[in-house]
Structure 1
Amino acid sequence: MSTVPLVASINSSNSELCESIPPLLGASLTELTAWVQSQGQASYRGKQLHDWIYHKGARSLADISVFPKSWREKVTDVSIGRSSLHYRSVAPDDTVKYLLKLADGEIIEAVGIPSDKRLTVCVSTQVGCPMACDFCATGKGGYKRNLGRAEIVDQVLTVQEDFQQRVSNVVLMGLGEPLLNTENVIAALKCLNQDVGIGQRSLTLSTVGIRDRIRQLAQHHLQITLAVSLHAPNQNLREQIIPSAKPYPIEDLLAECREYVEITGRRVTFEYILLAGVNDLPEHALELAKRLRGFQSHVNLIPYNPIEEVDYKRPNRERIQNFMNILQQQNIAVSVRYSRGLEADAACGQLRTSKK
C-alpha cells in the first residue's frame, strides 16, 4: 500500500471519492482540511477532524459528533483506518503484545513496553518480513506486503488508548524491514511527530541495511535514531546469520552509515544479537571494535531471545559482560539491552503474525 494523496479525487462524486481515497489516518492537518473542503464543508472542520482522529480516538466518521449528521451519513464508507484487536497478551513484566487485524484480514503485531517514566511502542512496518534472519521468528513466516502509513500509525494509537497513557517513544523494530517500505515509513514517522506529537529523537528506525536506502533516508534530514542490525563483525559470519546480507558487503554498509552520520549529524546505533559460541567470542569483540573505531556510533548488545525453529543459545552473563568490557576497553560506546516481554513471545526476534 503506497501513500496516495488524500484529495486525489477532489472533484469526484461522494461515492467515487469514498472508494478512491486512502484511510484518513496518517493525513496531516493541511490534507484533512483540503479534504473536508472538497466535500463542501468549512475549513475549520479539518481541525476538528484532525483532533478527533489523533487525540479523541475516533474510529469512524460516525463517531465525530460535532460533524453534521447529514454529512456523516454521506461519507460512511470513508475509512479512518483503524485496526481491530485480534488477540492481546500480557507478560509478567507488564509488556503487552497485540495482534491487530487489518482491513484485508491480515494480522500484524505491536508491543507496548511500559516503564516508570515512559511508554514505548514496538511497531511493525510489513506483514511478515523478507530478510530471513536466521535467529528471528518473523522471517520464518515469510513476507506478504508492506503496511500503509495509516496501518503503521494505528499501532501507536492502539497502544496509547489501551494503556490510557501518552506514548513517549516508538521503535520500528516489529515485523518487517522498514527500508523496504520507505515511502510509507517516512510518511508515518512525520505523522507520529507532527500529528501525534512524539519528538523525532524519540523515534527509532531499525534496519538490516538495504543498499542505498540509508543514504536516501539521510536526505530527509530527520532527527530520528537509526539502528542498524549488524550482528556480526565480518561479512562471512553476517551472511551465516543474515542470509539476505550476501549482496551487500559489510564494508559498503558501514560506508553508507558513515555518510548518514555526516549528512544528519546523528550517530548510528548498531544492534548486535549475542549468540552463544557463534558471534560472542573475544576475537569477535575485537574485530567489531576495529571496524567501528572512530565512528560516531553506539553498540547495543542484545542477548538472544529463544524461538522454536532454531537451537541458538543465549550467552551467560559472564560472556556478555566480557564482550562489553572488550568493546569499552577499545573506546567503543556500548550498552546491553535485555528485552522485555520474553514470556509473552513479545521480545526482540520473537514476533510473528500467528496467535500461539
Structure 2
Amino acid sequence: MIQREELPVIDKASEKTHEGFVPAFDKEGRIDIKSLNEQEILDLLLKLGQPKFRAKQIFGWINKGVENFEEMRNIPRSLIDELNKKCYISVAAIEKKQVSLYDGTVKYLFRLNDGEYVESVLMKYHHGYSLCISTQVGCKMGCTFCATGRSGFTRSLTPSEMICQIEKAEKDCQIRVSNIVLMGMGEPLDNFYNVVRFIQLVTSDDGLNIGVRHISLSTCGLVPRIYDLAEYNFGLTLSVSLHAPNNTIRSATMPVNKKYPVEELLQACRYYAEKTKRRISFEYAMISKVNDMDECAHELGRKLKGMLCHVNLIPVNNVVETDYRKSNKDRLESFVKILEKYSVTATVRRTLGSDIDASCGQLRGKHIRKGGV
C-alpha cells in the first residue's frame, strides 16, 4: 500500500500554482491518479522504478477517459498490476438520465465510485455544448431557493470526479463539450484547491483542452476565496449569485451574506474585475414580491454602476419546499429597463429543461426520497 508521504503534493517547478492541493485516497489507500498532473504521475512512476516515458503514456490514457488500467494497451501487464494496487481511476456511472422534449437539454444523475450521487446538465447552444457540473455532493450554503442545499452536505468532489462528468456526458451523447459551468451542486469556492486543480487539468493541452475563457465559475460569495481566485488570474468568468440588492433581503435568502455582506462582496468583485480584466456576471433569481420590485432594481443599479459587470436575471425555479414563485414578464422587463438607466447591462436567462427537473438538486432529491440512495 502506498503511503501518503511518498507522493509529492506540490509541483516544485511552480509551487504557487499547486499550493494547497492534496490528492485523494480510497479506503484501500490507493491514490486518485486521475487528479494528478503529469509531473506527479512521473514522480509516482519513478518511485516504482519505471522509465520516464511511461508518465506521458499513462497521462494520455487517463485523458482519453479510460475507466481502468487494463484499457491502457501499450502498458506492460506488470505495471498494470502495480497500478491497480496503488492507484484507482475515478468513474461516473449514469444512474438516471432525462432528456427535455422542448429543447434537448439532458439532465444526468451520476453515481460515483463510493456510491454518492451528483447532477450535471448538458445544454445545446448555437456556439456548441455547455455542461453544468457539480463540485460537491450536496451543499453547505443553505440558500432558501435552492433544492441542493435542502439535501444537506456530504463531501467535496475530487478534480477527477468533476472531469468524469464531462467525459461521461461526451461519451453518452457522442459530442464534444466546449463550455464548462461550475454551477451545479455545491459551492465551488468551498472546494477551492480541488477546483483549481480541475481547471488546470481540464485546460491542459494534453487534457480535455477546454479554453479557460470557456469556463464559468459560480459562487454565492465566499469573499476571501474570490480574492484568492483573482491571484491565479485564470481568465475564467466569475458568476456571483447575488439575488438581492441589500443585506436585509439577501440575508433572508442566503445565509452566507451574514458572514460576507453585500458591501464586502461587491468590493471583492470590483477587485476581481480590475485584476483579471474579466467582466463579472451577477446572477439574480427573480422571486415575485421578494426581490423583483422597482426599488430593488434602482438600489442594485446604484451599487453596480461603473463596475465591469453584467446582470443575468433568472426566473426562479418553483421549489416544492418553498412558496417562492417566479416573477412575471412585466416585472422582468421593468427590472432590465431600470438597470439600463444606470448603464448596467442585463438580460433574462433563457430557461432550458423546464420539463426535466433541470434545477440543481431536484433529480438527486427525488432519487433519495424514493429510496434510490
TM-score, scaled to structure 1: 0.91
| Mapped contact 2:185–2:360 kept (Cα < 8 A) | no
Map 1:265-276; keep pairs closer than 5 Å. Answer: 265-276=277-288
What residue number does 1:71 align with? 79
Q: Name 1:176's counterpart in structure 2.
A: 186
Query: Quick one: structure 1 residues 314 and 122, their matched pair in 2 at CA, closer, same or farther if it must change by over 3 Å?
Result: same
Q: Distance in 2 between matches of 1:268 and 1:302?
A: 16
**Matching residue's letter, 1:147:** L
Asked if residue 107 in structure 1 is aligned to residue 120 in structure 2, the reply is no
Match of 1:163 in 2: 173
Q: In the alignment, residue 246 of structure 1 is paired with which amino acid?
A: K
Q: Is this contact kept in 2: 1:327–1:333, CA < 8 A?
A: yes
Say which is worse superposed, 297-306 or 239-248, in terms of deviation. 239-248
- After superposing the two structures, state which structure 1 stretch, 105-114 or 287-296, moved more: 105-114
AA of the residue aligned to 1:275: I
Query: How far apart in 1 are the matches of 2:163 and 2:26?
Result: 23
**Which of 264, 269, 274 matches 1:252?**
264
Runs of 4+ in structure 1 displaced over 6 angstroms?
none
Tell me the distance in 2 between the aligned counterparts of 1:256 and 1:329: 24
Measure how far apart 1:43 and its partner are: 1.9
Q: CA–CA distance in 2 between the matches of 1:335 and 1:44?
A: 50
Alignment match, 1:7: 7
Say if 1:259 and 1:5 are closer, same or farther in 2 by CA, change over 3 A: farther
The CA deviation at 1:240 is 1.4
Query: Where does 1:66-215 land on structure 2 (aligned, <5 Å)?
Result: 66-77=74-85, 78-92=87-101, 93-194=103-204, 195-215=207-227
Tell me the alpha carbon deviations over residues 141-171 of structure 1, each in whole angstroms, 9 at most, x when there is no partner. 1111111111112111111211221110001
CA distance in 1, matches of 2:6, 2:57: 17
Q: How does 1:43-54 map to 2 (within 5 A)?
A: 43-54=52-63
| 2: CA distance, partners of 1:17 / 1:45 | 23
Cα distance in 1 for residues equivalent to 2:127 and 2:309? 25
CA contact (8 A) 2:142 2:150 kept: yes
The CA deviation string for residues 62-103 of structure 1, in whole angstroms up to 9 with x for no partner, is: 111111123213322421111222222212221111111122
- Shift of the 17–352 alpha-carbon distance from structure 1 to 2, 3 Å rule, reads closer
Distance 1:200 1:353, change over 3 A: farther
The question of whether the paired residues in 1 share the 8 Å contact of 2:138 and 2:153 is answered with yes
Question: Contact 1:306/1:350 (CA < 8 Å) preserved in 2?
Answer: no
When residues 349 and 287 of structure 1 are mapped into structure 2, their CA distance, relative to the original with a 3 A threshold, is farther
Q: What is the DSSP-based 3-state SS (H/G/I as helix, E as strand, rest coil) of the residue aligned with 2:84?
A: coil
- Given the superposition, is the C-alpha separation of residues 210 and 117 from structure 1 closer, same or farther in structure 2, using an over 3 Å criterion? closer
Question: Residues 233-312 of structure 1 correspond to what in structure 2 (within 5 A)?
Answer: 233-312=245-324
Q: Does 1:33 align with 2:42?
A: yes
Do the aligned partners of residues 72 and 18 (structure 1) sit closer, same or farther apart at CA in structure 2, a change above 3 Å counting?
farther
Q: Structure 1 CA distance, aligned partners of 2:250 and 2:84?
A: 51
Q: Deviations over 1:194-233 (max 9, x none)?
A: 1210111111110001131111111111111101100000
Q: 1: CA distance between counterparts of 2:342 and 2:246?
A: 18
Query: What number of residue pairs does the alignment pair up?
Result: 346
Q: Which residue of 2 aligns with 1:227?
A: 239
User: Is 2:119–2:185's contact at 8 Å kept on the other side of the alignment?
Assistant: yes
Q: Check whether the contact 2:132–2:182 (CA below 8 A) recurs between aligned residues.
A: yes
Higher mean C-alpha displacement, 344-353 vs 221-230 = 344-353
- Aligned residue for 2:319, secondary structure, equals coil
- Identify the residue that residue 33 of structure 2 maps to in structure 1: 24
**TM-score, normalised via structure 2 length:** 0.87
Q: CA deviation at 1:309?
A: 0.8
Task: State the superposition RMSD in angstroms.
Answer: 2.2
Task: Answer yes or no: is the 8 Å Cα contact 2:221–2:256 preserved in 1.
Answer: no
Residues 294 and 139 from structure 1, CA distance in 2 versus in 1: closer, same or farther, beyond 3 angstroms? same
More deviation in 104-113 or 267-276?
Answer: 104-113
